[in-house]
């Protein structure tokens, strides 16, 4: 019974051009990598590598326990203080992934009696978080503040969370954070902003840049695995909210603390990021230039999405680029909220100007052939 069921699912995926395969890569395969999320190129920075290695030697390979048992290290405190200070927040709490951070904030604040208003393009981790919370859910069209206001007005007096990403991962556009925060304030709702693609690419993130950091009704989640070149996640906001998470968030309580090497790497990367605003300037210049070359809108973040006519065309273009020594990503259903397959090109600061220029030429030719 199970064999048939799995074989049928596999055949359906194959027929739709949606089969995914893992493609292991070596540490340095000579390919220009424009597929990853290491936006500032800090994962390979010597200070980041050294910090990770030193922490592993000092603390060992893992935190050894969940945070409430013996898995809270002074290193976690150092990282949390640094992140809070950088992002202009009263406090921070770190998690073993950004996924856990999102599951935790929604799960700890929302239950069956709460209402969640979610943008239609929100990340899978937040979708899963709402499902686990069993909260009443209203999905609003992408970046539609009027729809958010209407959803808030429809359930007066109900504890409500509004979920947004500062920079959307697939579309690459920016949320109207100021308007969303205003709508939330009018209705006593909390705004939760996932800054996975904002922090680092926009220095301390867009919540900070829009003057919303430190507001008690605007909470931030972040990942340590993209611009910070490490692994892990964080929730930032008022101490009372963080204490509530420590006491109630199951993905925090029942999970081993962030590994020392990851915490130390993220801490080193945050310090470099703060000292090197030129890295985010490089991203802006590259992403704008590439968008012009391809005739698509420039995104707010580091990732350019290039719509393709079909999943097969996207996969073929990706393979042709790899043959030219350029690795790009590929979004296909079910990873795209609107069903449109796309190439995903990261305009990171981690590649040399020479490699970047070569990659842009290859992308221009190969994408031009297909579209
Ligand atoms: C918007 C968004 N939120 C959360 C996450 C999860 O972060 P992590 O990879 O640290 O689990 C991601 C990463 O894929 C993301 O793009």
Q: How far is the CA of 305 from the centre of ligand 1 (A)?
A: 17
Specify whether 143 is located in the same domain as 230. Answer: yes
* Alpha helices for the chain (secondary structure H): 2-15, 46-59, 74-87, 98-109, 124-133, 145-154, 177-187, 206-209, 239-248, 250-253, 260-275, 277-294, 311-323, 353-370
Distance 222 CA to ligand 1 centre (A): 8
At residue 54 the predicted structure's pLDDT band, cuts being 50, 70 and 90, is very high
Can you tell me which atom of ligand 1 is nearest the CA of 102?
4
* pTM score, whole prediction: 0.95
- Any atom of ligand 1 within 6 Å of the Cβ of 166: no
> Mean pLDDT across the stretch 82-97?
98
Q: Is the CB of 169 under 6 A from ligand 1?
A: yes
Q: Is 2 inside any structural domain? A: no
Query: Are 185 and 214 contacting, i.e. CB atoms less than 8 angstroms apart?
Result: no
Structural contact between residues 35 and 327, judged by C-beta atoms closer than 8 angstroms: yes
The two three-digit tokens of residue 74, written as one number? 């002074």
Any atom of ligand 1 within 6 Å of the Cβ of 94:
no
Same domain flag for 71 and 183: yes
CA angle, residues 317, 279, 258, in degrees to nearest 5? 85
Nearest to 112 by CA among 132, 98, 128: 132
Asked whether the beta carbons of 278 and 178 are under 8 A apart, the reply is no
Which is the closest atom of ligand 1 to the Cα of 231?
Answer: 10
Q: Please name which of 133, 138, 129, 93 lies closest in space to residue 112, comparing C-alpha atoms.
A: 133
User: What share of the chain in percent tops pLDDT 70?
Assistant: 99
CB 253, CB 101: distance < 8 Å:
no
Q: Ligand 1, residue 232: give the atom nearest the CA.
A: 10
Is residue 337 pLDDT above 70, yes or no?
no
pLDDT of residue 18: 84
Instruction: Report the pLDDT value the prediction gives residue 73, as an integer from 0 to 100.
Output: 98
Q: Are residues 335 and 258 in the same domain?
A: no
Given 274, 293, 320, the domain boundary residue is 274
CA–CA distance, 8 with 2 (Å, rounded to integer): 10
Residue 4 domain-assigned? no
Kindly give the distance from the C-alpha atom of residue 3 to the centroid of ligand 1, in angstroms, as a whole number: 32
Decide if 326 contacts 290 (C-beta within 8 A): no
Atom of ligand 1 nearest to the CA of 123: 1
pLDDT at 268 over 70: yes
Q: Is the CB of residue 124 less than 8 Å from the CB of residue 138? A: no
Q: 248 and 113 in one domain?
A: yes
Give yes or no: residues 302 and 343 share one domain.
Answer: yes
- DSSP code string of 65-84: SBTTTT---HHHHHHHHHHH
Instruction: Please tell me the predicted confidence (pLDDT) of residue 370.
Output: 75
Q: How many CB atoms lie within 10 A of CB 304?
A: 26
Alpha carbons 32 and 347: distance in angstroms, whole number: 11
Q: What is the pLDDT of residue 326?
A: 97
Average pLDDT over residues 342-348: 94
Q: Residue 295 sits in a domain of what CATH number?
A: 3.90.1150.10
Cβ of residue 97 lying under 6 Å from some atom of ligand 1: yes
Contacts of 230 (CB under 8 A, 6+ apart): 43, 48, 52, 224, 262, 263, 265, 266, 269
If asked whether residues 148 and 267 sit together in one domain, one would say: yes
Mean per-residue pLDDT for 109-129?
97
- Alpha carbon of 99 to ligand 1 centroid (Å): 6
Mean per-residue pLDDT over the chain, rounded: 96
Confidence of residue 340 (pLDDT cuts 50, 70, 90): confident
Query: How many angstroms separate the alpha carbon of residue 137 from the centre of ligand 1?
Result: 21
State how far Cα 62 lies from the chain centre.
23
Bridge partners (DSSP) of residue 91 are 237
Q: What confidence tier does 169 reach under pLDDT thresholds 50, 70, 90?
A: confident
Instruction: Judge if 68 and 122 occupy the same domain.
Output: yes
| Residue minimizing CA distance to atom 10 of ligand 1 | 98
Top pLDDT among 335 and 172 is at 172
- Domain-embedded: residue 12: no
Q: Using the mean position of ligand 1's atoms as its centre, give its distance from the Cα of residue 157 in Å.
A: 31
pLDDT value for 335: 74
Residue 318, ligand 1, Cβ within 6 A: no
Last residue of a domain, one of 274, 290, 320: 274
Q: Is 15 among the domain residues?
A: no
pLDDT tens-digit readout, 197-248: 999 999 999 999 999 999 999 999 999 999 999 999 999 999 999 999 999 9
Same domain for 116 and 206?
yes
Q: Is the CB of 86 under 6 A from ligand 1?
A: no
- The predicted model gives 350-362 an average pLDDT of 96
Q: Determine the average pLDDT of the residues in 244-269.
A: 98
Residue among 204, 201, 205 nearest 348 (CA)? 201
In terms of DSSP bridges, do strands 218-223 and 233-237 run parallel, antiparallel, or are they unpaired? antiparallel
225 lines ligand 1 (CB under 6 A): yes
Overall domain count for the chain: 2
Residue at 22 is within a domain: no
Q: Is residue 202 part of a domain?
A: yes
Is residue 219 located within the same domain as residue 361? no
Same domain, 171 and 244: yes
**Residue 159 belongs to a domain:** yes
Q: Which of 248, 274, 300 is the last residue of a domain?
A: 274
Segment 275-280 shows an average pLDDT of 96
Q: Please state, as a whole number, how many other Cβ atoms lie within 10 Å of the Cβ of residue 243.
A: 12
Q: What is the mean pLDDT of residues 51-75?
A: 98
Instruction: Report which ligand 1 atom has the smallest distance to the Cα of 233.
Output: 10
Q: Are 234 and 92 in contact (CB under 8 A)?
A: yes
Q: Check whether 31 has a pLDDT greater than 70.
A: yes
> Which residue(s) pair with 164 in the sheet?
193
Task: Answer left, alpha or beta for residue 116, where phi above 0 means left and psi between -120 and 50 means alpha.
Answer: beta
**Domain residue limits at 332:** 28-44+277-370
Q: Residue 336: what pLDDT?
A: 75
| Ligand 1 pocket, residue 273 CB under 6 Å | no
Cβ–ligand 1 contact at 280 (below 6 Å): no
Q: Which CATH number does the domain housing residue 171 bear?
A: 3.40.640.10
Q: Which atom of ligand 1 is nearest to the CA of 168?
A: 1
- Give pLDDT, residue 125: 98
Q: Are residues 239 and 97 part of one domain? A: yes
DSSP β-ladder status, 218-223 and 190-194: parallel
What pLDDT, on the 0 to 100 scale, is given for residue 220?
99
Q: Is the peptide bond before 231 cis (omega within 30 degrees of 0)?
A: no
pLDDT over 80 at 338, yes or no? no
Residue 6 is assigned to a structural domain of this protein: no
User: How many angstroms does the Cα of residue 89 sit away from the middle of ligand 1?
Assistant: 20
Any atom of ligand 1 within 6 Å of the Cβ of 48: no
Same structural domain, 94 and 242: yes
């Amino acid at each position: 019974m199970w064999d048939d069921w799995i074989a049928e699912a596999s055949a359906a995926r194959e027929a739709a051009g949606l089969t995914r395969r893992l493609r292991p890569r070596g540490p340095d395969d000579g390919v220009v990598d424009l597929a990853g999320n290491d936006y500032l190129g800090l994962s390979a920075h010597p200070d980041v590598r050294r910090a990770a290695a030193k922490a592993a030697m000092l603390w060992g390979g893992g935190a050894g326990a969940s945070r409430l048992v013996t898995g809270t290290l002074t290193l976690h405190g150092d990282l949390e203080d640094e992140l809070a200070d950088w992002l202009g927040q009263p406090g921070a709490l770190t998690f073993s992934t950004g996924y856990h951070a999102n599951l935790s904030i929604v799960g700890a604040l929302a239950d069956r009696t709460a209402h969640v208003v979610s943008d239609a393009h929100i990340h899978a981790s937040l979708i899963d978080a709402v499902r686990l919370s069993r909260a009443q859910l209203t999905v609003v069209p992408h970046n539609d503040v009027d729809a958010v206001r209407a959803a808030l007005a429809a359930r007066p007096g109900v504890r409500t969370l509004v979920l947004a990403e500062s920079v959307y991962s697939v579309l690459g556009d920016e949320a109207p954070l100021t308007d969303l925060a205003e709508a939330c304030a009018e209705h006593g709702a909390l705004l939760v902003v996932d800054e996975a693609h904002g922090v680092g690419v926009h220095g301390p993130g867009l919540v900070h840049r829009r003057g919303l950091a430190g507001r008690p009704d605007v909470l931030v989640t972040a990942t340590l695995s993209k611009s910070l070149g490490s692994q892990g996640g964080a929730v930032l906001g008022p101490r009372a909210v963080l204490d509530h998470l420590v006491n109630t968030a199951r993905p925090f309580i029942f999970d081993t603390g962030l590994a020392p090497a990851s915490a130390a790497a993220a801490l080193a990367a945050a310090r470099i990021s703060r000292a090197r605003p030129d890295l985010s300037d490089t991203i802006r210049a590259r992403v704008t230039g590439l968008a012009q070359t391809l005739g698509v809108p420039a995104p707010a973040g580091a990732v350019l999405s290039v719509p393709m006519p079909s999943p097969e065309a996207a996969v073929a273009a990706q393979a042709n680029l790899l043959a030219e020594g350029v690795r790009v990503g590929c979004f296909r259903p079910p990873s795209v909220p609107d069903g449109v397959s796309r190439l995903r090109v990261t305009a990171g600061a981690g590649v040399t100007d020479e490699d970047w220029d070569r990659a842009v030429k290859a992308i221009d030719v190969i994408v031009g052939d297909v579209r």
